[in-house]
Chains A and B, each alone.
Chain A
Amino acid sequence: SQTIHQWPATLVQPVGSPLSLECTVEGTSNPNLYWYRQAAGRGLQLLFYSVGIGQISSEVPQNLSASRPQDRQFILSSKKLLLSDSGFYLCAWSYRANIQYFGAGTRLSVL
């Protein structure tokens, strides 16, 4: 069966510090991968998605970037965090853009 892992579960970072969140999927190959941000009362915002290694599409211009160095690895990064980057970050995968399956999420607090 397929599983998705996200870490860390929680993270507290100072403003201006770098960020790296990692997501890995097991039990499938060539999945579509997604990063979402969830802010209170605002639902889920799609940040990035990837249909293959090195292929990244950005939905919203912002202070964040994503990379897919391996088939089942998706990384969300920032060089300098802003207060507005605080939120709950969710990684998801799907097979051929069908049903999406979500990880447990990372709670990021930028102080």
Chain B
Amino acid sequence: AQSVTQLDSQVPVFEEAPVELRCNYSSSVSVYLFWYVQYPNQGLQLLLKYLSGSTLVKGINGFEAEFNKSQTSFHLRKPSVHISDTAEYFCAVSPIVGGSQGNLIFGKGTKLSVKP
């Protein structure tokens, strides 16, 4: 079975500061990796994904993440955050078994609070 751990439930940061949201996963099979963002009372929006290829992936809104297979991590980073980045961020994995992709397994989320 797969599991996803988001190590920080809340991350406060000042505007224009860098931020890293941590995500570790556990899986006995290969996985695809995703980060989603959820603004208050809205659905989830895909930020970025890792399916294959370069381990550094760039997403929307200036976010990027790096897949580290040896450490089973997929941390999300942004060099300079804005007030508008205040939201909850979810890391998710999808196992790949027999060439088929399984359902998403989500972490519990990290609430990013950007202060002026």
A and B associate in one complex: yes
Give me the interface of A with B, judged by CB distance under 8 Å.
Answer: 6, 34, 41-44, 46, 49, 59, 90, 92, 96-105, 107
Stretch at the interface among B23-31, B37-45, B63-71, B79-87: B37-45
Contact A105 B41 (CB under 8 A): yes
Contact B45 A97 (CB under 8 A): no
How many A-B residue contacts, CB cutoff 8 Å? 44
Give me the interface of B with A, judged by CB distance under 8 Å.
Answer: 9, 34, 36, 41-46, 49, 90, 94, 100-104, 106-109
Q: Choose from A34, A92, A97 the contact partner of B101 (Cβ within 8 Å).
A: A97
**In the bound complex, what is the Cα–Cα distance between A104 and B40 (angstroms)?**
10
Chain B residue, CB-CB nearest to A88: B41
**In the bound complex, what is the Cα–Cα distance between A59 and B109 (angstroms)?**
20
User: In the assembled complex, which residues on chain A have CB atoms less than 8 Å from the CB atom of B43?
Assistant: 6, 90, 102-105
A83 to chain B, nearest CB (A): 21
Contact A46 B104 (CB under 8 A): yes
User: In the assembled complex, which residues on chain B have CB atoms less than 8 Å from the CB atom of A6?
Assistant: 43
User: In the assembled complex, which residues on chain A have CB atoms less than 8 Å from the CB atom of B9?
Assistant: 41
Chain A residue, CB-CB nearest to B106: A44
Given contacts A41-B9, A43-B90, contact A97 B106 (CB under 8 A): no
Contact B104 A100 (CB under 8 A): yes
User: In the assembled complex, which residues on chain A have CB atoms less than 8 Å from the CB atom of B94?
Assistant: 97
Chain A residue, CB-CB nearest to B111: A41
**In the bound complex, what is the Cα–Cα distance between A44 and B6 (angstroms)?**
13
The 9 A-B pairs of least Cβ separation, nearest first, read A102-B43, A43-B108, A102-B44, A97-B101, A44-B106, A104-B43, A43-B106, A105-B43, A103-B43
Chain B residue, CB-CB nearest to A9: B41
5 CB-based A-B contacts, threshold 8 Å: A41-B9, A42-B108, A44-B90, A46-B103, A96-B101
